[in-house]
Amino acid sequence: MELLTPAPALDLLAAPQRDEGLLQFEVFPWNDNFSTGNALIDSQHQRLVDLLNRLAGTLVGSLECEVEAAFAELTAYTDYHFSAEEQIWADCFGDDLWRRNHEAAHAAFLPGLQELKREGSGQPLYQVVESVVKFLIRWLAFHIIVEDKRFALAAAEVRRGMPVDEAKLKADHEMGASSVRLLIDTVLDMYDGLSTRTLNLLRERRARVEAERKLVQAYHDLEAANRRLEATTLTDELTGLFNRRHFDAVFATEIGRARREGTTLTLVLLDIDHFKRLNDTYGHIAGDEALVRVGAKLREFCRRAGDRAFRLGGEEFALLACGNSPSGRGADFVEAIRCEMAALAIANVASDVERTLTVSLGAVIRVPNAGDSPQSLFREADRRLYDAKQLGRNRAVCG
């Protein structure tokens, strides 16, 4: 008898391939005991097992699109397999009642599966998948071991010349033997237990994946919240002065305004001399107190609405003063800041300059021209601060 050849349009469905990305677990491992002796039917049964495992594998992610794709592929291939199998049995048994009952079972299978899926609507997706998978495991195991193996035994006898009725009786006798029945019950129990354990494993993995996904999302949400918080925070937490972010935001604006109005812009950078030694000698609490007092003193020099004091980071501060002043915004202004800081008399016995806290300052004081930018003016003031340190610290260098 010529075996049925799969139609070209179904070649991909007929090819028993495993999808390594989804079949990480096997809730229904293939076993040689499932072999019926018919090569085509056995290859199709193996493909059904693969597709069943693929559907079970969607429990890990519980993504509806993956579940629907796996379910659609399984149902389409099942329908194809039933047609192929029925043609093979028809060639052997003709219009026999056995074959008609077998076809009726096939015809009821897919509607029953769809109904089971519909009954699960409203439940969590993974519960629906579990119910479908458990149903398929028991149905497929019984279908192969009891029905298809019985048909295959009888078909083999028919091909040897035995009449159909005798072949059926012989197959019933062999399938009804106690040892075979015990084997069937054992296999069914084994697969039922295996599927339950594996489904529990899949459920645990699905929960872990979901927890990790939520953790990652929470982390991203926290980062975004922190970025929003930073963007709206203008002040330094310790000193209460404006912070570096706000300095960067207003510096360019004030340069543009001074250039348009032809007014003087004063940028003073201030660095506490040997601040690390003060921290090492008296501790970080004393260091923080020194920063707070320096910040408060620097704020006293902001005497106009456009004047602002900043803590740029660590022991570095800045003062930005805008507007013309005939007497208070030149080198004397910067020198006065240095003297007032020294007058705080904050102990720093480890300093190489004085036994009390001192500061070094670099300043740019002028009407900005077209070539001045925030970066160029900041670098200029920073170079003067560097010069003040090189000259021995506790100095103010202005331009």
Ordered domains of the chain (ranges, CATH) = 8-221 (1.20.120.50), 244-398 (3.30.70.270)
> With bands split at pLDDT 50, 70 and 90, how would you rate the model's confidence at 18?
very low
Question: Where is pLDDT greater, at 172 or 388?
Answer: 388
Instruction: Please name which of 280, 268, 278, 315 lies closest in space to residue 294, comparing C-alpha atoms.
Output: 315
Checking if the pLDDT of 261 tops 50, the result is yes
Q: Helix 284-299 and helix 275-282: axis angle, to 10°?
A: 130
Checking if the pLDDT of 183 tops 80, the result is no
Catalytic residue, candidates 130, 157, 315, 380? 315
Phi and psi angles of residue 287, each rounded to the nearest 5 degrees, phi first: -60, -45
Interval 217-234: pLDDT, tens = 888 888 887 777 765 688
Instruction: Please name which of 89, 82, 144 lies closest in space to residue 109, comparing C-alpha atoms.
Output: 82
pLDDT at 298: 96
Q: What are the helix (H) ranges across the chain?
A: 11-14, 39-57, 64-93, 97-119, 125-142, 149-159, 164-176, 178-232, 244-261, 275-282, 284-299, 331-343, 374-390
Checking if the pLDDT of 190 tops 70, the result is no
pTM above threshold 0.85: no
pLDDT at 187: 66
315 is catalytic: yes
Q: What is the average pLDDT across 104-116?
A: 88
Residue 187 has which token pair? Answer: 């296999």
> With bands split at pLDDT 50, 70 and 90, how would you rate the model's confidence at 194?
low
Q: What is the average pLDDT across 258-283?
A: 95
Q: What is the average pLDDT across 231-258?
A: 89
Question: Where is pLDDT greater, at 20 or 398?
Answer: 398
